[in-house]
């Protein structure tokens, strides 16, 4: 029987390719391991070097061409000037002699390193600087023949009466480009100057890049240090950056984020503390009652069960209120943004609370201005008004009065709830919005609240860009007034000079 055996064949790995890939990774890692300041400095230096090299290359090509043209034109001008002077003297003498050829000798004496010949119409050499004795020393110049070819020599005809009687030839010793030693020295020094300028440019770019990188890295380092401090638990750490540039705006946004984190953490801490404090009392009451019934100390009757049930209901209300407050403070539920007729909304709340107020032995009075519009969430406005009415009922004795009023101000809609209850002192008015705080006179009352309702009111009004005003006297009642920016029927808000979240002064 034949058996088919399948064999997995692995492709051969090229060790050279692996080595090159490893080297590439090492090089990339080396660049990435450099600090940001070092990378910016090196980048600035490379840019300066490339810019300088490109500039030198372009300038060299253009400058060399023009420089050669300039030197060649200079030698041609020497030849033409000498030819003109010789022609002027030839015109007076009528023939070539030493006096006529003197301008050539003068030119050779002036332009060091320049060779010159003067020939007649038959190309017979009349003057040759290579064989003349130069200076007073009597030492003859080396017998250097003029270069061959017209490209390496400047020519100028000697013209007398429109007839060429000879010509002047000019060349430069040891140069095929008519460059004198002074010209060559100037060219060499020019290149040296450009190289020196390149080095200086690289150094300056490196220094500038280093300080620029330091300036750029400093705020980034501040952001990093602040982030590390926040990670380690220092929630008060801030970058404290100022300015309008992008990094400063990033730092300011980072600080705002850190402040939000600190605020949320503080809210969480406060919530945990408050919940633990408030839950302890009803839980202890439930526990004590249940244990007493289990141990037989108290009978298991309807009265005890009602006590346990009331404490359980109180716990349920407390948890529900805390949940609402937490959602408001954390802005977990976005506000509705719709045009609200405040009078209609409050009318509905007053209608649903009439029976509750009447059962408490109180009289409810309601008055409102028509067409008072705000932009906001009608459900939250109902909740805030209901909390104020419940608070007024809780702290007003039987036979008292509660006045609810919706009024149009110049720029703000006003919802006020005034009672004839126990009232507030100025100190109590300042603490009335703290969570779980209740007036001392109301703590022992069976109808005493949870101490969260007014905190919820304050958060709701703040979410509507308004504030709550507190007025009252001890024993004469209190008045809470909600201020929310007015809108017209088209939904356009009226300008207000008030600040968001402000609590107005307390009347004594």
- Burial grade of 279 (CB within 10 A; 0-12, 13-18, 19 or more): middle
How confident is residue 133, by pLDDT bands cut at 50, 70 and 90? very low
> pTM of the predicted model, to two decimals?
0.43
What per-residue confidence (pLDDT) applies to 451? 64
Residue spans of alpha helices (H) in 296-377 = 302-330, 342-359
User: Which residue bears the tokens 């400063």?
Assistant: 248
pLDDT at 393 > cutoff 70: yes
The pLDDT tens digits of the residues spanning 191-227 come to: 788 788 778 877 887 787 777 777 777 787 888 888 8
pLDDT at residue 5, as a whole number: 40
Strands 477-487 and 467-473: antiparallel
pLDDT of 27 strictly over 90: no
115 or 350, greater pLDDT? 350
Whether residue 364 has pLDDT greater than 70 = yes
Domain range annotation of the chain: 27-232, 235-333, 334-487
Residue found under tokens 């919530």: 271
Q: Tell me, what DSSP letter sits at residue 464? A: T
Is residue 26 over pLDDT 60?
Answer: no
Q: How far apart are CA 492 and CA 95, in angstroms?
A: 110
Supply the pLDDT for residue 136.
Answer: 41
Asked if residue 356 has pLDDT above 60, the reply is yes
Q: What is the pLDDT of residue 139?
A: 42
pLDDT of residue 321: 66
CA distance to 111, 156, 243, 291, per residue, from 107 (Å): 6, 14, 71, 132
Pick the CATH number of 334-487 from 3.40.630.30, 1.20.200.10, 3.30.565.10, 1.10.10.10: 3.30.565.10
φ/ψ bin of 113: left (φ > 0), alpha (ψ from -120 to 50), beta (otherwise): left
**Which contiguous run of DSSP H or E holds residue 134?**
strand 133-134
| Average pLDDT, integer, range 323-348 | 76
The rounded radius of gyration (Å) of the Cα atoms in the chain is 51
Place of tokens 């356009």: 492
Q: What is the per-residue pLDDT for 326?
A: 65
The pLDDT > 90 percentage for the chain reads 10
Reported as a single tens digit per residue, the pLDDT across 87-108 is 888 888 888 888 888 888 888 8
Instruction: Give residue 304's pLDDT.
Output: 74
477 φ, ψ (degrees, to nearest 5): 105, 175
Q: 155: which strand partners?
A: 169
- Is residue 442 within 8 Å of 462, Cβ to Cβ? no
Residue-wise pLDDT for 237-257, tens only, equals: 888 888 787 878 888 888 888
Give the integer Cα–Cα distance in Å for 201 and 45. Answer: 8
With vertex at residue 506, the alpha carbon angle to CA 429 and CA 470, rounded to the nearest 5 degrees, is 60
Cα–Cα distances in angstroms (integers) from residue 296 to residues 206, 245, 290, 293, 335, in the given order? 90, 75, 10, 5, 53
Reported as a pLDDT band with limits 50, 70 and 90, residue 508 is very low
Supply the pLDDT for residue 113: 72
Is pLDDT larger for residue 36 or for residue 469?
469
pLDDT-above-70 percentage for the chain: 72
Distance separating alpha carbons of residues 436 and 452, to the nearest angstrom: 5
Provide mean pLDDT across the span 418-422.
90
Task: Report residue 57's pLDDT band, with 50, 70 and 90 as the boundaries.
Answer: confident
Q: Give 498's pLDDT tier (boundaries 50, 70, 90).
A: very low
Q: Is the pLDDT of residue 493 over 70?
A: no
**Rounded mean pLDDT of 403-426?**
90
The answer to whether residue 333 scores a pLDDT higher than 90 is no
Residue burial 230-245, b: 16+ Cβ < 10 Å; e: rest: beeeebebbbebeeee
Element (H, E) at 1: none
- Asked whether residue 52 carries a pLDDT value surpassing 80, the answer given is no
Residues with Cβ < 8 Å from 71, sequence gap 6 or more?
177, 178, 179, 180, 183
The fold for domain 235-333 equals: Helix Hairpins (1.10.287)
Range among 128-142, 327-341, 396-410 with highest mean pLDDT value: 396-410
Highest mean pLDDT among 12-21, 43-52, 398-407: 398-407
Tell me what the pLDDT averaged over the chain comes to: 76
| Strand-pair category, 373-376 with 412-419 | unpaired
Give the confidence band of 346 by pLDDT, cuts at 50, 70, 90.
Answer: very high
pLDDT of residue 394: 85
User: CA nearest 374: which of 362, 364, 382, 366?
Assistant: 382
């Amino acid at each position: 029987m034949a058996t088919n055996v399948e064999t997995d064949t692995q492709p051969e790995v090229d060790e050279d390719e692996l080595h090159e890939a490893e080297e590439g990774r090492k090089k990339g890692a080396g660049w990435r391991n450099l600090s940001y300041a070092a990378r910016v400095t090196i980048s600035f230096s490379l840019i300066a070097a490339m810019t300088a090299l490109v500039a030198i290359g372009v300038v060299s090509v253009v400058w060399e061409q023009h420089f050669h043209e300039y030197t060649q034109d200079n030698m041609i001008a020497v030849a033409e000037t000498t030819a003109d002077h010789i022609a002027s003297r030839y015109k007076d003498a009528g023939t070539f002699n030493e006096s006529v050829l003197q301008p050539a000798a003068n030119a050779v004496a002036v332009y060091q390193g320049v060779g010159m010949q003067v020939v007649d119409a038959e190309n017979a050499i009349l003057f040759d600087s290579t064989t003349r004795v130069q200076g007073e020393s009597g030492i003859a110049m080396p017998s250097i023949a003029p270069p061959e070819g017209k490209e390496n020599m400047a020519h100028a005809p000697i013209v007398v009466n429109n007839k060429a009687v000879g010509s002047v030839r000019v060349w430069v010793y040891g140069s095929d480009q008519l460059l004198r030693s002074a010209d060559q020295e100037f060219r060499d020094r020019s290149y040296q100057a450009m190289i020196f300028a390149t080095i200086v440019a690289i150094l300056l770019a490196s220094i500038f890049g280093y300080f620029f990188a330091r300036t750029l890295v400093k705020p980034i380092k501040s952001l990093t240090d602040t982030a590390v401090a926040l990670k380690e638990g220092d929630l008060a750490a801030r970058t404290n950056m100022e300015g309008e540039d992008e990094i400063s705006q990033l730092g300011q946004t980072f600080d705002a984020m850190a402040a939000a984190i600190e605020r949320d953490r503080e809210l969480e801490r406060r919530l945990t503390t408050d919940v633990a404090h408030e839950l302890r009392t009803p839980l202890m009451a439930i526990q004590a009652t249940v244990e007493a019934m289990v141990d037989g100390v108290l009978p298991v009757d309807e009265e005890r069960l009602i006590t346990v049930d009331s404490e359980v209901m109180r716990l349920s209300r407390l948890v529900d209120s805390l949940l609402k407050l937490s959602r408001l403070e954390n802005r977990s539920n976005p506000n509705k943004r719709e045009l609200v007729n405040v009078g209609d909304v409050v009318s509905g709340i007053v209608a649903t609370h009439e029976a509750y107020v009447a059962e408490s032995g109180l009289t409810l009075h309601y008055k409102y201005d028509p067409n008072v519009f705000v932009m906001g969430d009608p459900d939250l406005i109902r909740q805030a008004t209901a909390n104020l009415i419940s608070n007024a009922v809780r702290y007003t004795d039987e036979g008292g009065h509660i006045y609810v009023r919706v009024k149009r101000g110049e720029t703000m809609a006003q919802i006020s709830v005034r009672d004839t209850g126990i009232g507030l002192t100025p100190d109590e008015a300042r603490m009335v919005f703290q969570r779980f705080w209740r007036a001392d006179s109301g703590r022992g009352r069976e109808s005493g609240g949870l101490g969260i309702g007014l905190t919820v009111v304050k958060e709701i009004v703040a979410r509507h860009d308004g504030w709550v005003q507190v007025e009252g006297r001890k024993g004469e009642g209190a008045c809470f007034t909600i201020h929310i920016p007015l809108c017209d029927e088209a939904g356009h808000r009226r300008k207000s000079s008030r600040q968001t979240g402000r609590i107005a002064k307390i009347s004594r």
